[in-house]
Chain A
Amino acid sequence: MRKWLMVLAAAVVASCTSIDCPVNSLVLTQYQFTSSDGQVLTLLDTLTVAMTRKDGKDTLFNKGSQISTFYLPISYSHPEDELVFHFDGDSLHRTDTLWVKKDDYPHFESVDCNANFFHKLTAIRCTHNLLDSVAIHNPSVTNDEKVIHVYIYPKTDD
Chain B
Amino acid sequence: MATSTQAQMKFFTLQKDSVALFRGFAVSFDLAGAGMLMLSDYGQYEAALRVNLHDEWFPIVEAGLGKATHDDDVTRLYYSTSAPYFKIGIDKNMLRDKHGPNRLYLGVRYGFTSYKIDIARPNFVDPVWQWDTGFGLHDVACKYHWAEILIGIDVKIFGPLHLGWSVRYKQRLAHSEDGDWGKPWYVPGFGTYDSKLGATFNVIIDI
Contact = CB atoms under 8 A, between A and B. Distances in A.
Given A8-B167, A14-B197, A81-B129, 16 more contacts: A14-B196, A17-B192, A53-B128, A54-B131, A55-B130, A73-B128, A75-B126, A75-B128, A76-B129, A76-B133, A77-B131, A105-B180, A107-B181, A108-B183, A108-B185, A115-B124
Q: Return the 4 tightest CB-CB contacts between A and B, nearest first.
A: A54-B130, A108-B182, A15-B197, A75-B129
A81 B128 CA distance: 12
Interface residues of B, number: 33
Nearest to B194: A20
B119 A108 contact: yes
Contacts of A20: 194
Interface string A100-115: 0000011111111111
B81 to A, nearest CB: 12
Contacts of B180: 105, 118
Contacts of B193: 110
Interface residues of A, number: 30
B189 to A, nearest CB: 17
Contacts of B77: 108, 111, 115
Interface in A37-90: 51, 53-55, 60, 73, 75-78, 81
A17 to B, nearest CB: 7
B98 interface: no
A11 B196 CA distance: 10
A53 B130 contact: yes
Contacts of A75: 126, 128-129, 131
B75 A113 contact: yes
Contacts of A11: 167, 197
Given A11-B197, A77-B134, A111 B128 contact: no
B158 interface: no
